[in-house]
Every structure is written in C-alpha cells, then in structure tokens.
Amino acid sequence: MPDNIITRDEKKEIRKSYSFSGTTLLIFLVVYFFLAKPIVNAAASLFITEADYNTFVTIGSIVLIIIAEISAILLGSKFCGINLRSLFNIGGFSGKTIAKSYFAAQGLGYIASFFISLIIVFFTLFANLSPGTFTPNIVERMNESGLVPAFTAFYAIIFAPFLEELLFRGIILGSLSRYNRTFAIIISAIAFGFTHGNIQQACYSMIAGIVFAAVDLRYNSIIPSIISHSFINIFGMISSFFMKATGYSETAEKMLSMTNPFEMIKLITPQMIVVMLILFAVITAFIITAIVIVIKNKNRFREFFIPVTEWNKSRALPILLTSIPWILCFAVLIYEVFIRPFWTFI
C-alpha cells in the first residue's frame, strides 16, 4: 500500500488521538477566556467589599486559571497516554542549551513583534482606530500596586512557565508529534501564541513557541523551555517596572487612546526618549544574538522542518481539521485575537 494511503480505521484512530489533545486545550481555553473572570466577579459581588474587589478578581481569576491548567494537564496526560515524569529528562542538555533557547526565543520574538506592530500601526491609522485596539492591556497592569502585581509576578515567573510548558509542549506537542514533528511544532506554537489573546503577543509567543518546541523535541525534555520561558517573563516584569518608574507607562496609556499621530508626538518627553533608547539597545542586542544563534545552529533547526513524507502529510492537518475539539479551539482563538478587538470598537 502506498505511503499516502490511509485506511478508515487508522484515520479514525488518529482523529481520536487529536481529539484528546484538542479537548485538553479546549478545557483550558474555555475557563481562561470565558469562565474565570465572570465566576470570580459573581463571587466578589456577593462576598467582597468594594475596596478589595479588584484585588480579589485578579487573584481569583489567576487561581481559577491555575486550576484549569492543572486539570487539563492531568486529563491530557491520561487520555493522550503521556507520562508526565518522562517530560523532565535531565540528560543531554546544558546551561548553554538553555541560554541559546532563551536568547533565540527572545530575539526572534522581538523581530516578529516589530513587524506585526508596524502592520498594526498602519492599519489602525488607516482605519482611524486607536493603537490600543490591538494592544494588550499591559499599561493598566503596570499601574497597579500592592498585592496584585506581586501575585501576578509570582504567577508569571513560576506557575505560568511550568504549567504552560506542560500543557503546550508536554501534552499538545507530545501528542501531535507522534505523526508529524514539523506539524506538531507549528500547531502547538500557534495554539500557545494565540492563547495570549492579542495579535502582538500572539506573534511573539508563536515564534518563541517554535524555538521551545524544537529544543524540547531534540532533548526530549521540557526543562529547557520552562527555564527559558521563566526568564522571558522575568525580563518582561523588569521592563514593566522600569517603564512604570520612569513615567513611560502613564504616557503610553494616553498615546494608546489617540488616533492622531501628531498629538502622540507632542506627549513624548526627553525622559521617554531615554527609556526608548535603552529599550532599543537591549532589544537590538537580543535580536543580533538570536540571529547569530540561528545561523550557527541552522542545521539543528532544519532537521525539524525538512520536507515530510506523504505518510506524515496524510496523517497531519487534514485529519486535525476534522476533529471537532480542535475546530472549536481554533474558533475560540480566532475570535479572541481577531474578532473580539473589532467587536469591542464597533
């Protein structure tokens, strides 16, 4: 029988495998995007005073998301037949491996973010929308104080890297890679990126997800991606604190609500210019380092993206697109990243 021929029974079995991983992701997405905040808001309105309302909602939402991630991981490991302990192999990689993974993900992510930011700027100006239409609500979080940012930082540095890597690189990537590694890397990276809920972070995280997936598959361990992911979030938290301390975030918030570029320029202060120059220098260093790492390790990256066989092709995307859980996952992600921003501003 030719390689590209797939029997009905085999197709049914593969679809079943894909549906298990899709259901795992769908459980997390439903809680993350649709249930966490409404449930916590309802509880807060009944039991919490107005002074503690925002703190309770933020912390409560994160706690529910953690519970959803853990539940999805445990269910996914059972139904997809993945031993969670096997994902934490400590042999084969070194600190140098982790450093390369981190700098490649950070630098290449910035390149993707830069180009998508240019597209967003031109599009929003053409459509007479504010840049904040497609911009993550980072400014609001930077202006918070007290327990909320401390708890958020702890989640971003410890819980998020560990649980997200288990879910996306451990369960999703591990399940899909049984049939086609290139396909698994790309799909798991798209799911990871779009889960961030906005186009800028989606592109950045998607590129980082590709790097993480390639490294994890090479060393059969998610430890490198957990550590790299944590360092990326640490750098993000430090950058946010730095921008808040210098007043950059307050000015950025005003600029995001404007549609006139000339009015935006008037808000730029010498202090903002200094901050932007420092960030530009740091980001440029990350980008150059990432490019050097990719060039020096191009053969290692290439092994995951070589042309696949007809056997791989026939058992990858065509079957995934017939899996109802994955169709629902794609629908949720497309809605959150592309449709909801328009809907909010119509």
Which residue carries 């259901």 as its tokens? 23
The pLDDT assigned to 59 comes to 86
The pLDDT assigned to 145 comes to 41
Task: List pLDDT tens digits, range 264-322.
Answer: 677 777 777 787 888 889 999 999 999 999 998 877 766 666 666 777 778 888 899 99
Cβ(49)–Cβ(213) below 8 Å: no
What is the rounded radius of gyration, in angstroms, for the C-alpha atoms of the chain? Answer: 21
Mean pLDDT (the chain) is 84
Answer with the residue of higher pLDDT: 237 or 78: 78
Tokens of 219: 């060393």
**Cross-strand partners of 221:** 88
Give the confidence band of 137 by pLDDT, cuts at 50, 70, 90: very low
Average pLDDT of the residues in 34-59? 83
Give the confidence band of 131 by pLDDT, cuts at 50, 70, 90: low
Cβ(150)–Cβ(159) below 8 Å: no
| Residue in 218, 211, 213, 204 with CA at minimum distance from that of residue 170 | 213
Cβ(158)–Cβ(230) below 8 Å: yes
Query: Looking at the whole model, is its pTM more than 0.85?
Result: yes
Buried residues in 268-297 as b, exposed as e (16+ CB within 10 A)? eeeebeebeeeeeeebeebbebbeebbeee
